[in-house]
Amino acid sequence: MASARRYLVCEPRFFAVRYAINPWMHPDRPVDTALAQRQWRTLVDTYRAHGHTVERVEPVPGLPDMVFAANAAVVVEGRVFGSLFHAPERRPESVPYQAWFKDHGFDVHQPESVCEGEGDLVPAGRWILAGTGFRTTREAHREAQEFFGVPVISLTLVDPYFYHLDTALFVLDGENIAYYPEAFSPGSREVLKRLYPDAVIATRDDAMAFGLNSVSDGRHVFISPGATALADRLADRGYVPVPVDLSEFHKAGGGIKCCTQEIRS
């Protein structure tokens, strides 16, 4: 069942690939800023067409990755756990996002440990699935559990192409997920199998097409059009894939979910 969601996004006015902090990023590959703007606007329009509320934080010059709103925080029951980025280039992004949340009446917890928001902390019904291995630390997992009072389940990522949890896994609804098993350590794969025996399993091709950097409202799955096999599996399970092309953002290692912060009140 679909439910109305509230999303926070940031216009890619200053989007570019100026440095390399993941395997997708190559500063010598030009970014088509106009195309990125059109793709992003299509995503926003698609959310609104499906009944979701979309709010915007103003972009800041010199912060080319600020478009990836998911990395700025994680919000559970109206409580905001902010970010402390691993890369020095991205650390200034925390300030405008924190200001936006405060201006809108939220209290914001500033983490003491490296944490990259919903990139690695993924609320999943009764618990929070938490990635580590490349960016967010296990110390941040413990800090988030203390802050939210929600069980946090640590999962170790092992493939640098899937450096954030939201590139290897996404939540379909309150009971199930889709994920790419080989992005995780053997022990973490076993944990996911136990927690989600009926999960939708993605192939490496699906994952490399940013198919797991998707957003679900419980029925509609906003997904990269390149993840065709995964879209077919989702349709077989009764979900409705909604393809949205954010290919220009793949040059920076991001996609639909990276551009979307969910505000859970």
| Phi and psi angles of residue 84, each rounded to the nearest 5 degrees, phi first | -140, 100
What pLDDT score was predicted for residue 120? 98
- Catalytic residue among 164, 220, 250, 259, which? 164
Residue 215 and residue 222 in contact, taking contact as beta carbons nearer than 8 Å: yes
Residue 240 and residue 215 in contact, taking contact as beta carbons nearer than 8 Å: no
State the pairing for strand pair 215-216/220-223.
Answer: antiparallel
Read off the pLDDT of residues 94-141 as tens digits, 9 standing for 90 and up. 999 999 999 999 999 999 999 999 999 999 999 999 999 999 999 999
Distance, C-alpha 111 to centroid of its chain: 18
Read off the pLDDT of residues 145-179 as tens digits, 9 standing for 90 and up. 999 999 999 999 999 999 999 999 999 999 999 99
The first and second tokens of residue 15, run together, are 């989007």
Interacting residues of 151 by C-beta distance below 8 A, sequence separation 6+:
126, 127, 128, 145
Question: Does 258 qualify as catalytic in the annotation?
Answer: yes
Read off the pLDDT of residues 44-73 as tens digits, 9 standing for 90 and up. 999 999 999 999 999 999 999 999 999 999
Give whole-number Cα distances, 33 to 48, 90, 198, in Å.
23, 19, 40
- DSSP count for the chain of H helices, then E strands: 7, 15
CA distance 105 to 107: 7
